Amino acid sequence: MNPPKAILITLLWVCSWLRQDVCAQSTEKLSQKVLDYLDRYHVLAVDEMRRSGVPASITLAQGICESAAGSSRLALEGNNHFGIKCKKEWTGPTITHTDDFPNECFRKYASAEESYRDHSEFLRTRPHYAFLFTLDPLDYKGWAYGLKRAGYATSPTYPESLLRVIELYQLHQYDRAATAASSTPAGSVNQFP
């Protein structure tokens, strides 16, 4: 292996480790940054669960891990909370960012709401994620391991990272709120955490 290639591989590994570490750090104890993120975005995740079937707990955990609780460059400059790359069909705005490789193309959104909606559609419209929608909507563990199996992330510990965040911050409460809201008669008032 030539030296520049070895340096590049080492840098990519370090970047990958640092991104994972942000999520791991937020799961050691309650983080105010994560609590602020949840306060700001939990309603979007609940609404998306009702609309699309993607568990709110999974959406929030992915948003926290993928965007460092909204503080990553992709989230701040591109409203991309889920690390969704351009893919060939994307015709919207883009932002370049070094992830697995230098200067990769990522989707850029006008708002966090647009990012949350596109995340749900990304999962709903790709055949390799279809099996996830056969799971019980309250089975966040099945979803976490299923996302890894379907290739959502390259980290071998991705499901465990999501599960640590979900369980520490009790994100499954939002799944229950969304499913309770969907079974509440029209005109009733719903209380969300």
At 70-93, the pLDDT tens digits run: 999 999 999 999 999 998 899 999
pLDDT of residue 100: 85
Catalogue all structural domains in the chain, each as residue range(s) with its CATH number: 3-182 (1.10.530.10)
Phi-psi domain of 2 (left: phi exceeds 0; alpha: psi -120 through 50; beta: other): beta
DSSP class of 167: H
Q: What is the per-residue pLDDT across 109-159, written as a single tens digit (0 to 9) for each? A: 999 999 999 999 999 999 999 999 999 999 999 999 999 999 998 899 999
By the 10 Å C-beta count (0-12 exposed, 13-18 middle, 19+ buried), 31 is classed as middle
For residue 112, the surrounding DSSP H or E stretch is: helix 112-125
H helices of 79-139, in order, are: 112-125
Q: What is the per-residue pLDDT across 16-72, written as a single tens digit (0 to 9) for each? A: 434 444 565 544 578 999 999 999 999 999 999 999 999 999 999 999 999 999 999
